[in-house]
Structure 1
Amino acid sequence: MKLGIFFRSLVACSALSLLAYAVLPGASLGLLAKMLAASLGVSLLAPFIYTHVRGVQNGDRVVVVAGTTSSITGFVAKHATALEKGHIGKKIRVALDGGPEMEATVDSYSGILSPARVSLSQKDLKIL
């Protein structure tokens, strides 16, 4: 989840709620509270929806994981830059920092603090 998207959508939705409260004749404080609660709900969902709609874009930082390794046994990960757009399950080209370009599969999108994760195919593992 991206915190910037959350705060921008919270401000925008809250502004719309306050504007609707000001314009609607006979609107009560209960209605305002409901609209502000709905604004908070939309703002909490916005970063998740945005990330899935956007996917991985050209120039995004990604973490390259070697194959299907787990975090317990021999975890190998390097940083790279995405050279193509892609979504989960799709193959994209990535450029390793200080290394070659290769093809990887998008495993997950970026989180609050973590970049998107991609994994290399078995044929590219020897390069790492």
Structure 2
Amino acid sequence: MNKCHCGRERSYDNCCAIIHKSILKAVTAEDLMRSRYSAFVLADGNYLMKSHHSSTRPLKEKKSIVAWAKSVNWIRLEVLSAIEGLENDIKGTVEFKAFYFENNKVECIHENSSFIKENGHWVYLGEV
């Protein structure tokens, strides 16, 4: 079995694909963050927009985000910490490192991300 793109020890079909089909299946902020990483790997712009808070959603940049996501080779995701963001919380933060290969070198996005619930499900608000 291949691990999910997000690094969990399950197949994509039994992990992030479930959340990509129904965002309500993201029980925690970390679940949503991991599903967003998988969406970057898959260059799924629609999911990236849907999982982004309405007040900070970069609709005009959707095409360039998808083009960039397709242009790099994603290596792995490391979740460093999660504060709050559990099923019964309304907000949380997740610190992560996302590694990718671009222009013949390994790059890293290191972010402490803020997540909140909007319309009853987790969404990405932005960097803390």
Larger Rg: 1
Q: TM-score, normalised by structure 1?
A: 0.31
Higher helix residue share: 1
